[in-house]
Amino acid sequence: MQSFRTELENPIVERDILELEKKINLFKEGKIDEEKFRSLRLARGVYGQRQQGVQMIRIKLPYGRVNSAQLRRICKVSEEYSTGRLHITTRQDIQIHYVSLDRTPELWAELERDDVTLREACGNTVRNVTASEMAGIDPKEPFDVTPYADATYRYFLRNPVCQEMGRKFKMAFSSSEEDDALSYLHDLGFIPKIKEGVKGFKVLLGGGLGSQPRHADLVYEFLEADQIIPFIEAVLRIFDRHGERARRNKARMKFLIKDLGLDAFLELVKAEKMALPYRSYPIDISEFETNKSLPNPQVPVLDQALGLDFELWKQTNVLTQKQAGYVAIGVKVHLGDFFLAQARALADLVERFAKDEIRFTLRQNFLIRDVREDLVPYFFQELKKIGLADRGYNSLGDITACPGTDTCNLGIASSTGITVELEKLIVAEYPQYLKNQDLVIKISGCMNACGQHNMAHIGFQGMSMKSGKTVIPALQVLLGGGNLGDGNGRFADKVTKIPSRRGPQALRILLNDFERNANGLDFISYYDLQGQMYFYELLKGLGDASTFTESEFVDWGHEGAYKVAVGVGECAGVVIDLVATLLLEALEKLELGQEALSEGRWSDSIYYYYAGLINSAKAILLSEDISTNSYANIIAQFDEVFIATGKINLRGTFAEKVYEINQHEPTEAFAKAYARQAFEIYHLLKNYREEEVSE
């Protein structure tokens, strides 16, 4: 029963939210399997926390952009449903915590009033499309990638191709060859290029972090801009069909490319072109061009003269724009956490004196853009009033860290606690590094690398180690990673493992050695000169168990003795399907296909029918205790077990029926024919299942 009114103008969004409420009620009544419900809520931004009974909500903000009205709406929601703390992620999202599951539909409805969504912020979906926060203002950019990132986000939101893949899928757009969106560690990465006056992109495929980081492969030096959407869709279709679904740790795109080989994968992508709804997809940038007018407010009077703090801050936090007379202001946000009073004051500030937008960054900060140069002193004054005027934006003292054991189920050691200590150390003992933007520290609470530790110059990964029979919180020290630009990067080497409490000591040793011996080399060059073993010898004494003290049995930010408490991760977890649930979902997919067909969305309808066929076959295989690990495997197994043996007669193979999807253009005639066939097969398989159960 509906418990609240959405009153939303968009019927698609309204149905989405009411569907979530319906599924929550069915779950509470025991009518939906727990693992299946988890998959559904994750795809709607609702993520289980380390703390029982409450949820983390991830708010999806494409390329990190938010205007003042949206920021105020997020504040209102956080105030009413959460704790008032807003956390910026390394994918330019906002997370809020400690939310009751029952209230998530109304929370979502509140956000949508200002065009803010939770849809596909988590789960086995296309995650937030990230982009350089400098896009549109970067002096080095060939063109503004913002409209291309926006079009990608909008095209794949709710797209049937990418709703229930084997694993999450991440994309990023850099603004220039600096590659500050880190294309090389994404499933798909794009770097803008212009060739003979035509806009396009360098395209990289199959990168990733985690316990087995992989550098993406270059697939195009130049792909015309109107080809990126068709290419992405073809890649997603192949990933959806052939990607691993049983072994979660092997389910990312990088493993599929490794298994198939890049050339074979690209051949499958090429063969999929027939099925695509668009051979070319020109992206309209006119609205973005229209909105490029610059603000011209009056200059307010300062409360008082500004001192040395302003001059130091200006050196590190004010960035040049390509628009003459305007700058961007980088705001350093400790641990990526800021609060309602700060956010509301910030919304007022950018609405009145800037372009009415900020962009959250990949390093958990935010950038205020299009600030007239003569307004910089006023911005510093106002930011200082709300505690957001620390210098050192994007410097060594601006450390990226995931939430770790604060809220994440997978956290092993406190990433936020050690971050606080390292930042204090840098400010107190190495203030000169607050100007250094060429040396990066990143910290993750576990091997999943949400803090991107394994691509940093200096990285720390939360883990545990033993001292006798006692387990203590520890850090893996990684060195020598970094972004090299234009789609090239390198991953850090694992050097040694030390107690978490010795993290500051390790950083002090590394920086002192660098200052004494680097002789002007950058950190990566110095690391290569000395080699991995040199740094191991430098740090190995910190890991000597015979020297551990009692204080090192307690993690940063904690008072009690350390305990390993790793829960079930929900980074798009594996779904344990039941036969009845799969058949029900198959019917839901077919019904969605009918709806798309009635609206003239031929390609969408065909893909829904395809998904319905796969779910039906998987259900029947599961009823025979036959496990499967990909959609392609489901099709092959079904033919082997049921068609070849004569148990089920489809007047042909299941593969022949299903794979018609990529042998025909998505026309109205084919959509209707495919629909008839899908419903016939579904009812045949459903009847087969019912007869098996009744015997």
For the domain that residue 606 is a member of, what is the CATH number? Answer: 1.20.120.330
Looking at residue 324, its amino acid is A
The pLDDT score that the predictor gives to residue 181 is 97
- Find the radius of gyration of the CA atoms of the chain: 26
CA dist 111 to 150, 154, 341, Å? Answer: 19, 17, 19
Q: Pick from 338, 370, 341: which is nearest to 357 by CA?
A: 370
d(C-alpha 648, C-alpha 680), whole Å: 13
- Let me know if residue 563 belongs to a domain: no
Residue carrying structure tokens 């305007």: 326
- Let me know if residue 98 belongs to a domain: yes
H helices within 272-319, ranges in order? 286-290, 308-317
Q: Look up residue 7 and give its two tokens.
A: 């009153």
CA dist 542 to 374, 479, 530, Å? Answer: 50, 16, 19
**Strands of the 326-331 sheet, one edge to the other:** 65-67, 357-360, 366-372, 326-331, 318-320
Mean pLDDT per block of 10 residues along the chain (695 residues) reads 63 87 84 75 82 89 98 97 95 95 92 95 94 97 98 97 94 98 97 98 96 95 98 98 90 95 97 96 90 89 93 96 97 96 98 96 96 97 97 94 75 85 94 91 88 93 84 92 96 94 96 96 97 96 89 78 53 48 88 96 96 94 90 96 95 96 95 97 92 70
- Per DSSP bridges, beta strands 318-320 and 217-224 are unpaired
- Let me know if residue 117 belongs to a domain: no
- Let me know if residue 2 belongs to a domain: no
Same domain, 102 and 137: no
Domain boundary (287, 315, 336) is at 287
H helices within 243-303, ranges in order? 253-260, 262-271, 286-290
- Per DSSP bridges, beta strands 326-331 and 318-320 are antiparallel
d(C-alpha 44, C-alpha 130), whole Å: 18
- DSSP state at residue 575: P
CA dihedral 666, 669, 671, 673 (to 10 degrees): -140
Q: What is the pTM of this model?
A: 0.92
d(C-alpha 567, C-alpha 127), whole Å: 23
Other CB atoms within 10 Å distance of the CB of residue 118: 25
φ/ψ (deg, to 5) at 123: 80, -175
- DSSP state at residue 443: E
Question: What CATH code is carried by the domain that includes residue 508?
Answer: 3.30.413.10
Same domain, 136 and 280: yes
Same domain, 203 and 317: no
- DSSP state at residue 316: H
The pLDDT score that the predictor gives to residue 418 is 92
d(C-alpha 561, C-alpha 552), whole Å: 9
Same domain, 506 and 463: yes
In the chain, the largest separation of any two C-alpha atoms, in whole Å, equals: 88
Q: Look up residue 382 and give its two tokens.
A: 């106002």
CA dist 603 to 150, 353, 593, 610, 664, Å? Answer: 21, 45, 9, 11, 11
Question: What CATH code is carried by the domain that includes residue 371?
Answer: 3.90.480.10
Same domain, 657 and 684: yes
- Using the Cα atoms of residue 424, residue 429, residue 435 and residue 436 in order, give the sign of their dihedral: negative
Same domain, 184 and 220: yes
Same domain, 405 and 529: yes
| Size (the chain), residues | 695
Same domain, 607 and 489: no
Same domain, 420 and 516: yes
Class of residue 67 by CB neighbours under 10 A (exposed 0-12, middle 13-18, buried 19+): middle
Q: Pick from 93, 96, 257, 271: which is nearest to 167 by CA?
A: 257
Domain boundary (287, 320, 335) is at 287
The pLDDT score that the predictor gives to residue 572 is 39
- Let me know if residue 295 belongs to a domain: no
473-521 pLDDT tens trace: 889 999 999 999 999 999 999 999 999 999 999 999 999 999 999 999 9
d(C-alpha 92, C-alpha 90), whole Å: 6
CA dist 209 to 220, 452, 492, 498, 502, Å? Answer: 22, 7, 11, 22, 25
CB proximity list for 14: less than 8 A, separation 6 or greater: 6, 8, 109
Number of domains composing the chain: 5
Residue 481: give the domain boundaries.
Answer: 401-553
- Let me know if residue 419 belongs to a domain: yes
d(C-alpha 661, C-alpha 304), whole Å: 69
Same domain, 15 and 135: no
- Let me know if residue 573 belongs to a domain: no
Contacts 24+ apart (CB under 8 A), 624-630: 627/246, 628/245, 628/246, 629/244, 629/245, 629/246, 629/247, 630/166, 630/241, 630/242, 630/243, 630/244, 630/245
Question: What CATH code is carried by the domain that includes residue 95?
Answer: 3.90.480.20
Domain boundary (335, 350, 385) is at 385
Class of residue 679 by CB neighbours under 10 A (exposed 0-12, middle 13-18, buried 19+): middle
Q: Is 64 left (phi over 0), alpha (psi -120 to 50) or beta?
A: left
The pLDDT score that the predictor gives to residue 287 is 84
Q: Look up residue 442 and give its two tokens.
A: 């990143």
- Let me know if residue 124 belongs to a domain: no
Same domain, 150 and 69: no
Same domain, 435 and 537: yes
Q: Is 674 left (phi over 0), alpha (psi -120 to 50) or beta?
A: alpha
